[in-house]
Amino acid sequence: MYRKFTPRNNSYRKYTPKKLPSRELMEAIRAVKIINSSKTAQTEEVYTPKNGFADFALIENLQANILAKNYLRPTPVQDLAIPAILEGRDVIGIANTGTGKTAAFLIPLINKVSQDKSEKVFIVAPTRELALQIHEELRDFSKGLGIRAVLCIGGMSLWRQKNELRQNNNFVIGTPGRIRDLIGERSLPLSQFHTVVLDEADRMVDIGFISDIKYFISLLPQDRQSLFFSATISGKVKEILQAFVHDPVTVSVKTQDTAENIEQDVIKVSKHEKVDKLHDLLAKDEFEKVLVFGRTKWGMQKLTDELVRRGIRAAVIHGNKSQGQRQKALEQFKSNQISVLIATDVASRGLDIPDVSHVINFDMPATYDDYVHRIGRTGRADKKGIALTFIE
């Protein structure tokens, strides 16, 4: 049973779901294993990369940085996208999470900027965590190349970001809310950017940023290289595409919604035994590095407090945590200082956390797409993973 939890401030409020998960969603989750294992399921032909990184026309120092990260052969999305981006083409990349798409656009863009330091690249991502990850990868790939970048996300000092934007930055990476703030402060003139990346565009639409994205596009110069990456192309996403890309190369390596190397199952539990069941699972040796997803900030904070009280090495990230707290929890999880990271859906997209053994849906996801993106945190880089969903 939970012990009583008393919020420290008024930021925790009772959650009223806008839409309860449907029976169709539960049935879809139950059927995932059957769909994935079906020999008659229609999938695209598996693409085998034809190049090594050494085959791409990249500068020598960048090639050395790629090798230093132990990148030996490109993933399919990298193999298809990098040549097109190097040629200056607009690109639509349709790929599941965990396919290496961040490197697919960063590598050729770093090469582009290295050859012309007046070039400015604008990258928009839906969440702070994904923007931070892009920034970190950029730093690794551009080591020793004299490339400057600024990160523009909420939860960090607006004043500091305004000062950094006054310098000559080659890359600006940000989230829609903070970007809009900086435009309002007249600190981010988008007319200067002739290379633009929209990453996880479907997620930005899902969480209500479609009007912001359309506004950003209206401020960009017509003469630009536009790169668009998304796991799905819905009707609203198509609205953005029409205004964003010109004569694009479409790169599609999405063969199915969920990876074959993720074993998926459901666990039927009553409402009152969920915490005990989760604790029993986490106590098992094979649950080495576990992501637990839930619906509400308040609920996940309460769950974390209870697990910590029971001796589980756990931390939580959600919207009421400061950026520093969220980043600290992620770093502790990546470095195995904690074995369990509990999160709302803020963490379900784009994060590249190595060696996650299990994903547990403590609460049902709101949509099937949310389910797919949650479980995509495990079974990455051709490793096996397990995804479990609690159903009351």
DSSP-assigned letter for residue 358: E
Q: Please check whether residues 223 and 263 belong to one and the same domain.
A: no
Q: Please check whether residues 91 and 194 belong to one and the same domain.
A: yes
Place of tokens 């989760």: 278
What is the pLDDT at residue 24?
55
Q: Which tens digit of pLDDT belongs to each residue from 198-226?
A: 998 888 887 788 999 999 999 999 999 99
Domain boundary among 252, 277, 311: 252
Q: Is the pLDDT of residue 126 over 80?
A: yes
Q: Please check whether residues 353 and 239 belong to one and the same domain.
A: no
What is the pLDDT at residue 347?
59
What is the pLDDT at residue 292?
96
Instruction: Give the pLDDT band (50/70/90) at residue 239.
Output: confident
For residue 224, being part of any structural domain is answered with: yes
For residue 45, being part of any structural domain is answered with: no
For residue 345, being part of any structural domain is answered with: yes
Q: Please check whether residues 178 and 288 belong to one and the same domain.
A: no
Domain boundary among 235, 252, 269: 252
Report the predicted TM-score, pTM, of the whole model to 2 decimal places.
Answer: 0.71
Domain boundary among 195, 228, 252: 252
Q: Which tens digit of pLDDT belongs to each residue from 331-380?
A: 899 999 999 999 988 755 556 788 899 999 999 888 777 787 788 888 87
Q: Please check whether residues 283 and 352 belong to one and the same domain.
A: yes
Number of domains present in the structure of the chain: 2
Instruction: Give the pLDDT band (50/70/90) at residue 151.
Output: very high
Q: Please check whether residues 204 and 220 belong to one and the same domain.
A: yes
Map residue 268 onto helix, strand or coil: strand
For residue 6, being part of any structural domain is answered with: no
What is the pLDDT at residue 319?
79
Q: Please check whether residues 316 and 224 belong to one and the same domain.
A: no
Q: Is the pLDDT of residue 138 over 50?
A: yes
Mean pLDDT along residues 248-273: 80
What is the pLDDT at residue 34?
41
Averaged confidence pLDDT in the chain = 85
For residue 13, being part of any structural domain is answered with: no
Q: Please check whether residues 162 and 227 belong to one and the same domain.
A: yes
98 in Cβ contact with 381 (< 8 Å): yes
What is the pLDDT at residue 306?
95
Query: Which strand (E) or helix (H) includes residue 171?
Result: strand 171-174
First to last CA, the chain: 16
Which residues does residue 230 pair with via DSSP β-bridges, in sequence order? 94
What is the pLDDT at residue 16?
36
Assigned token pair, 303: 């769950």
Edge-to-edge order in the sheet of strand 225-230: 149-152, 171-174, 121-124, 195-198, 225-230, 91-94, 249-252
Mean pLDDT along residues 270-274: 90
DSSP-assigned letter for residue 20: P
Q: Please check whether residues 88 and 237 belong to one and the same domain.
A: yes
For residue 11, being part of any structural domain is answered with: no
Q: Is the pLDDT of residue 249 over 70?
A: yes
Which residues does residue 172 pair with via DSSP β-bridges, in sequence order? 122, 150
Q: How far, CA to CA in Å, does 63 sit from each of 35, 56, 72, 93, 141?
A: 40, 9, 10, 23, 9
Helical residues (DSSP H) of the chain, grouped into ranges: 23-37, 60-68, 76-86, 101-115, 128-141, 158-165, 176-184, 201-206, 210-219, 235-244, 274-282, 297-309, 323-334, 368-375
Q: Is the pLDDT of residue 169 over 60?
A: yes
Q: Please check whether residues 180 and 136 belong to one and the same domain.
A: yes
Residue 386's domain is classified under what CATH number?
3.40.50.300
Compute the distance between CA of residue 229 and CA of residue 144 in angstroms, rounded to an integer. Answer: 28
201 in Cβ contact with 232 (< 8 Å): no
What is the pLDDT at residue 256?
52
- Residue of 170, 374, 107 lying closest to 257 (CA atoms): 374
Compute the distance between CA of residue 264 and CA of residue 358 in angstroms, rounded to an integer. Answer: 10
Q: Please check whether residues 164 and 92 belong to one and the same domain.
A: yes
Cβ count within 10 A of residue 366: 18
Q: How many CA atoms lie within 13 A of 369 on its CB side?
A: 13
- Residue of 261, 258, 285 lying closest to 386 (CA atoms): 261
Point out the least confidently predicted range of 5-14, 255-264, 285-294: 5-14
Q: Please check whether residues 240 and 282 belong to one and the same domain.
A: no
For residue 149, being part of any structural domain is answered with: yes
Q: How many CA atoms lie within 13 A of 277 on its CB side?
A: 18
Compute the distance between CA of residue 249 and CA of residue 208 in angstroms, rounded to an integer. Answer: 27
Q: Which tens digit of pLDDT belongs to each residue from 20-65?
A: 445 555 665 555 444 444 333 334 456 778 889 999 999 999 999 9
Q: Is the pLDDT of residue 15 over 60?
A: no
Q: Which tens digit of pLDDT belongs to each residue from 276-314?
A: 999 999 999 999 999 999 989 999 999 999 999 999 999
Q: How far, CA to CA in Å, does 227 sit from each of 53, 59, 247, 314?
A: 20, 21, 12, 37
Which residues does residue 195 pair with via DSSP β-bridges, in sequence order? 121, 225
Q: Is the pLDDT of residue 150 over 90?
A: yes
Q: Which residues contact 246 (CB under 8 A, 6 or more apart)?
A: 90, 226
Point out the least confidently predicted range of 130-134, 169-173, 207-211, 279-283: 207-211
Q: How far, CA to CA in Å, does 127 sit from each of 179, 200, 318?
A: 12, 9, 11
240 in Cβ contact with 210 (< 8 Å): yes
Higher confidence at residue 245 or residue 35? 245
What is the pLDDT at residue 305?
96
Domain extent at residue 263: 23-39+257-391
What is the pLDDT at residue 46?
63
For residue 48, being part of any structural domain is answered with: no
What is the percent of the chain with per-residue pLDDT over 70, rounded to a whole number? 84
